[in-house]
Structures are given as structure tokens and as C-alpha cells.
A and B are shown apart, each in its own frame.
Chain A
Amino acid sequence: MEATLDSLLLGFSVAFRPDVLLYAFLGCLVGTLVGMLPGIGPLAGISILLPVTYGLDATKAIVMLAGIYYGSQYGGSTTSILMRIPGEAASVMTCIDGYAMAQKGRAGAALCIAAVGSFIAGTFGVVLLTVVAPPLAGFALRFGPPEYTALLVLGLIFLAYMSSTSLVRTLLMASFGLLLGMIGIDVLTGHFRYSFDIPELGDGIGIVPVAVGLFGLGEILSTPSSTVTAKVVSPRLIELLPTREEWRQSAMPIARGSLLGFLIGIVPGSAHIISSFLSYALEKRVSKTPEEFGNGAVAGVAGPESANNAASTGAFVPMLALGLPTGPVTAVLMAALLIHGVPPGPSLVSEHPDVFWGFIASMYVGNLMLLALNLPLVGLFVSVLRIPYAYLYPLIIMFCIIGVYEVNHSVVDVWIMLIMGVVGYGLRKFGFDPAPLVLGLVIAPIFEMSLRQSLIMSNGSWTIFFNINERPIAASLLGVCAVLLVLAVLSLIRSRKDWRNKLAEAEGSEAVNQ
């Protein structure tokens, strides 16, 4: 514990450097705007601004990009409460009771509760991250190729299990992403795969064009300007303070949301989105007045907002400690670290302590900055929302093109982004969540390499993954996979049974009617 505190002090000495503070502030500011503006989420925002960090060192780059991520969780609540438009997917639940509170003249209180809840949850998440990540990284040093393969399989299955869409759809998306991740030169044999004589494809498809296309352009294509209205309620500064009763009602939901969010954040999937949905459901279930939900319940704002912020911090645990992304945002952040020559993973703590601890310390500071930004300056931010969407989305498209082009100065990347934009539009129309696709794309090289290395190590024997004596970690992880799959199949059978029962009942009633 003493070593952790010493390391944290080192982190604060980095985080309090004026240049690092400046980039943390810029990240939080941009993140708040990204979270507020409809049609651009944290993933697109981070991807677009990734090239801007090329001139920075790894610490400043990751501090700024992470600031955009957790800043967007704060900003997303503003549009939800004031306009009933979720600026960010994780803020969907805040729309329900946040906007209802605004309609009752409590917009300021809702914004304050959301900001304070986000601050408490974000700080709680960083404290747990400080405690959990270093020992986990130490443990992960025991991992070899079979353990990584098993961990990635578990990640994919967990993602499918936790996903908001069906298991099959999620696995289908993940397979599609894995396939995209295999385009380019095979590093073990030198074969070109699916590059169709396009030299730029030899290095594979980058995360940035795919992520920006699917989440940035795809979102714009599915949002016609006629559907976005700019009716904004602007609260005065004096109205921001909640009443004593509102504080009391929000205390426990903030505490529950913080813990729930952090735990969900660690597991793969769109954690910040799932956590806000689960927190809302939990608050409604434990509430003594569930009928208030939907009509301006304070817990309906405090719980989900705290949960999505804690989840965005929790998602950094596997990224920093294991070098594994749990979602597309952490995947892009991982790519940012790799671009700066800092491989995330178990060795990050020991080899780049200034980056690791500087990043963690900057999150404490960043959460304070966000609280200061999101409360007194809410009126200023609200004025940004008055920019008509007809002018806003062309700007976003321009930044998408700049962001993607600047990564490699390659027009092929921009074409890939456009294609992925169309794919993203199509996927939305057919009810697919594109997040597992990006995750598949990111883990494809690690997954393929570790699987092939494991098979080479064992001379082609699959038992290397299941031998509990030689590889207890891999075998245990695969055991968990098996349990999750059995649970998923059982729930499938149960739903089929329900369906059969319903059909039998329907047929029975038809027979009676005849």
C-alpha cells in the first residue's frame, strides 16, 4: 500500500505539471462538448483527435484522450436533461427523469446532481483503479499465449453475454470484426490476406477509420437534420442547487451506481451504456416510490449518471493492467499508447511508471476540473447546443475526414471510413450493435498470434488450453467460458419453451373459439 501511495505521489508530480494540466483541461473541455453534441460520441471524438496528439508525448496524449472519454460521460447528461436528446448513448436513461425534472423547473438541480454524482463515481472509480490495477498487472505477468487466448475467448463470450442485442448478433459482429482484423500481411508467414493488390491494405485496416466510420459517420447518416430540434431549457446559476430532500434522495443511488458501474466497467462490452441501464433498473426496483420513475425521480438521474462514469473508469483496469481493451473506446486509447511507443499491459506499471501513474493521477484532477466546468459554465455549454444541426453535421463530417486522413496521410483510410459509415448505417437499420465489430478488429491480431503460438508450443495439441496442472489460469478461464455458454443456452431453451407455451396457448384458444 505504501508503494502504491509513493507511486501515486509520482503520478501527481506528473499530473500537476502545467503542460499536463493544460492537456487534461483540453481533454475534459472537448469531452464535455463531445458528450453534449448529438451525432458525435466519445469514440468518434477520440478517433478524430488522435492525430492531434502525435506531436505530444505519451503521457499528455493519453491524459487528453482519456479526458475526452470521461468528460463525454459528464457532458452527455446536459443534452439529456435540457433537450431530451442523449448526446451520448450512455445518457439515454438520464433523458427520462432528467427531462421530466427540467419540465418541473428542476433542470438546475438535475444538472447539479448529475455532475456531483459523476464526480463522486469518477473519483471512486479512480481510487479502485489505483488499488486494483497494479496487483492485477503483476498477476498478468504470469500469462503466456494460452492464457491470453483463453482470456480473449472469455472476453468475447462475456461481451456476447452482456450485450444489449442477442448473443448470435454480438458473436456475428465480433466474427466480422475478427475477419477485418486479419486483412493484411500475416506476420508469421508473410502471406498477403485479402489485400486485393492495394499496398495500403498490407498493413491491415486501422481502428480509427473503422471506428470513425461506424460511430461518427454512421450516426450522422442515421440522423437526418429534420429530426434534431434545438429547443433548449437554459437554467440560471442560482437554480443549480438541489434541495436538502433531493440531496438525500440522490445519496444512495450515487453510491450504488458507483459500485455497480465500476464492476460492470471491468468486464468487456459497452460497459458505460449497460451500466446506466442496469443502474436505472436497480434504482427502480429498490425504490419505495417506483411510480415516480419517468416523472422526474431524482434517483433516475443520480444512479445512471454515477454508473456510467464509474464504468468508464473501470474500463481502464483491463486496458492498463492486462493490455486488453474491453470496448472500442479503450481499444482506440490502447492504439494511442502504441502509436507513442508505450505498449499497455502488465509491463506498463514497471516500464513506464510516469505514464501509468501520471495518467491515474490526472484522472483525479480531471474529475475536479469537470465538476468545475459542468456546473458554473453550463449556460455557456448550452449555447453550443443552439448551433443548428444542419451546420453542425457537415462540420463533424469534415473533422471525420481530417481525423482519419491525418493518421497515415492516406486517402485509402478515408475510403475505408466512408465504406464503414455505410456499413454502420446498414447495421443500425438491421438492429446490430457495431461495438463488438470494433472490439473484434482490435483483438484479432493478439488473438490470432496467441492462438497460433499456443498451438506451435503444444505441437498442435488443444490440451494446452485445458490442462489444469500445467496451465491452471487458462483452464480456469475456459471453465468460466463454458459456464457462461451453458447459461446462455439454458436461457435460450427457456425462452424457446416460453415461445412454445405461448404458441400452444394460442392454438388452444383458437381451438376453443372454433
Chain B
Amino acid sequence: MILRRDHIAGLAFVAAGGLIYALSGDLPWGSLGMPGAGMMPKLVLGMMIVFGLILMMRGGTSPPLVETDWSDVGHALCVIIAAALATALYTTLGFVLTMSLMLFGLTAAIERKPPLRALAFSVGTALFTYFLFSSLLKSPMPPSPIGFF
């Protein structure tokens, strides 16, 4: 049997639906006259599982999984790691330091741009954005631990 895209997608939704259903055990169903907090989520989960099963069953017409182009996954992974690191450091290091580091990492390390140009772009952009939001748009940004920026 050829493993196809919709088989995997349907299975993922059925599994996720089943798992969340198991986590919903303490939510009361209530009655039709007085629906509880669990009625709607459980109904929707039921729908998700049913649609997931239909997708799996009709998956024979979808493209084989091996035909899916995953060539961009490495780039996507690098980008998401850089963004996750920036998120983790955002309130600790402050806006300017964190964003300068993230922009520099993405342009110099991932996109292989000349380091000096990438540094000027990163620091310049982060500083400009900081002033734009903090001073002009009056939208406070997280400050750095050294007090400045």
C-alpha cells in the first residue's frame, strides 16, 4: 500500500482529536436543557475525528507522501529556531539587543550575507524600529537589562 498525504493528515487529526478527547474527561457534558462546558468541545472533537477518518478513507486519490517537496524544511527549521530564541530572550535582553541578534543571525548566518553589512542592517533596523514604536507610535517595547534601549 502506498502511503499518501491524506492518510497521514487524516491520521494526525484523528490522533489529535482522540488525545484532546481524553484530556476533556473532567469537562461536564451537562444536558440539552442546560449544556455544560464540555458539550461543544466534545461535539467539535467528534466532528474532527469523523472528518479525519473520512479524509483517511478517501486518501487514495491524494498524492503519495514521498512526492511532497520537503527541500525547504532545513531553511524553515533555522528560521523557526532563530525566532524561538528571540522570543525566549525578548523580555530578558530587551527589544534592541534581541532583534539585532535575530536579524544578524538570519541575514549573516542563514542567508550568508557579508557580516559587516548584515551587522549594520540588523542594528540600524532594530534601533529605527525601537524609536519608531517607542517615540512616535507611543507603543512601549521591552527595555534591556542595562536600562538603555
Q: Residue B139 contacts which of A51, A178, A422, A462 (CB distance < 8 angstroms)?
A: A51
In the bound complex, what is the Cα–Cα distance between A227 and B72 (angstroms)? 10
Q: Residue B107 contacts which of A189, A191, A391 (CB distance < 8 angstroms)?
A: A391
B83 an interface residue at 8 Å Cβ cutoff?
yes
B residues in contact with A456, CB < 8 Å: 33-35
Q: Are B33 and A405 in contact (CB under 8 A)?
A: no
Given the known interface contacts A55-B137, A172-B55, A425-B76, the answer about A448 and B87 at a Cβ–Cβ threshold of 8 Å is no
Nearest A residue to B79 via CB reads A221
Q: Residue A402 contacts which of B54, B79, B133 (CB distance < 8 angstroms)?
A: B133
Given the known interface contacts A52-B139, A402-B141, A460-B31, the answer about A397 and B102 at a Cβ–Cβ threshold of 8 Å is yes
Q: Are A171 and B133 in contact (CB under 8 A)?
A: no
Q: Are A394 and B103 in contact (CB under 8 A)?
A: yes
B123 an interface residue at 8 Å Cβ cutoff?
no
Q: Residue A394 contacts which of B45, B62, B71, B106 (CB distance < 8 angstroms)?
A: B106
Smallest CB separation, A416 vs chain B (Å)? 10
Given the known interface contacts A191-B27, A394-B107, the answer about A52 and B137 at a Cβ–Cβ threshold of 8 Å is yes
Q: Are B54 and A179 in contact (CB under 8 A)?
A: no
B residues in contact with A171, CB < 8 Å: 47, 51
Which chain A residues numbered 176 to 222 have a C-beta less than 8 Å away from chain B? 176, 178-179, 182, 186, 188-189, 191, 193-194, 217, 220-222
Q: Are B72 and A398 in contact (CB under 8 A)?
A: no
Q: Are B137 and A182 in contact (CB under 8 A)?
A: no
In the bound complex, what is the Cα–Cα distance between A74 and B148 (angstroms)? 41
Q: Are A405 and B80 in contact (CB under 8 A)?
A: no
Best-buried of B32, B102, B113 by chain A (most CB within 10 Å): B32
Q: Are A411 and B37 in contact (CB under 8 A)?
A: no
Best-buried of B44, B75, B133 by chain A (most CB within 10 Å): B44
B16-58 CB contact bits vs A (8 Å, 1 = yes)?
0000100110011001111111111100110110011011001
Q: Residue A172 contacts which of B13, B23, B35 (CB distance < 8 angstroms)?
A: B13
A395 an interface residue at 8 Å Cβ cutoff?
yes
B8 an interface residue at 8 Å Cβ cutoff?
yes
Interface of A is mostly: helix
Q: Residue A401 contacts which of B58, B61, B83 (CB distance < 8 angstroms)?
A: B83
Q: Residue A193 contacts which of B8, B37, B58 (CB distance < 8 angstroms)?
A: B37
B56-82 CB contact bits vs A (8 Å, 1 = yes)?
001001100000101110011001101
Given the known interface contacts A182-B44, A189-B37, the answer about A397 and B83 at a Cβ–Cβ threshold of 8 Å is yes
Q: Are A418 and B139 in contact (CB under 8 A)?
A: no
A residues in contact with B35, CB < 8 Å: 188, 451-452, 455-456
Q: Residue B44 contacts which of A175, A191, A222, A391 (CB distance < 8 angstroms)?
A: A175
B residues in contact with A398, CB < 8 Å: 99, 102-103, 125-126, 129
Number of interface residues of B (CB under 8 A): 65
Best-buried of B6, B27, B33, B79 by chain A (most CB within 10 Å): B79
The segment out of A86-94, A316-324, A353-361, A428-436 that lies at the interface is: A428-436
B residues in contact with A402, CB < 8 Å: 95, 129, 133, 141
Interface of B is mostly: helix
Q: Are B51 and A172 in contact (CB under 8 A)?
A: yes
Which chain A residues numbered 403 to 418 have a C-beta less than 8 Å away from chain B? 405-406, 411, 414-415, 418
Smallest CB separation, A500 vs chain B (Å)? 13
Q: Are B40 and A452 in contact (CB under 8 A)?
A: yes
In the bound complex, what is the Cα–Cα distance between A227 and B45 (angstroms)? 38
Which chain A residues numbered 370 to 425 have a C-beta less than 8 Å away from chain B? 390-391, 393-395, 397-398, 401-402, 405-406, 411, 414-415, 418, 421-422, 425
B residues in contact with A499, CB < 8 Å: 61
In the bound complex, what is the Cα–Cα distance between A431 and B63 (angstroms)? 10
Which chain B residues numbered 83 to 141 have a C-beta less than 8 Å away from chain A? 83-84, 86-87, 90-91, 95, 99, 102-103, 106-107, 111, 113, 121, 125-126, 129, 133, 137-139, 141
30 chain-A/chain-B pairs, Cβ below 8 angstroms: A51-B139, A52-B139, A55-B137, A176-B13, A178-B40, A179-B20, A182-B40, A188-B35, A191-B27, A194-B41, A221-B76, A221-B79, A224-B75, A395-B125, A397-B79, A398-B102, A398-B129, A401-B90, A402-B95, A402-B133, A406-B133, A429-B68, A429-B70, A431-B62, A432-B9, A448-B40, A451-B40, A452-B39, A456-B33, A499-B61
Q: A55-B139, A182-B44 are in contact. List 17 more A-B contacts (CB 8 A).
A: A52-B137, A55-B138, A172-B48, A175-B51, A191-B36, A191-B37, A221-B76, A390-B107, A394-B107, A397-B82, A397-B106, A398-B129, A401-B87, A421-B80, A422-B80, A431-B5, A455-B32
Q: Which residues from chain B sit less than 8 Å from chain A, CB to CB?
A: 5-6, 8-9, 13, 20, 23-24, 27-28, 31-41, 44-45, 47-48, 51-52, 54-55, 58, 61-62, 68, 70-72, 75-76, 79-80, 82-84, 86-87, 90-91, 95, 99, 102-103, 106-107, 111, 113, 121, 125-126, 129, 133, 137-139, 141-142
Q: Which 4 A-B pairs have the closest CB atoms?
A: A460-B32, A460-B33, A191-B37, A390-B111
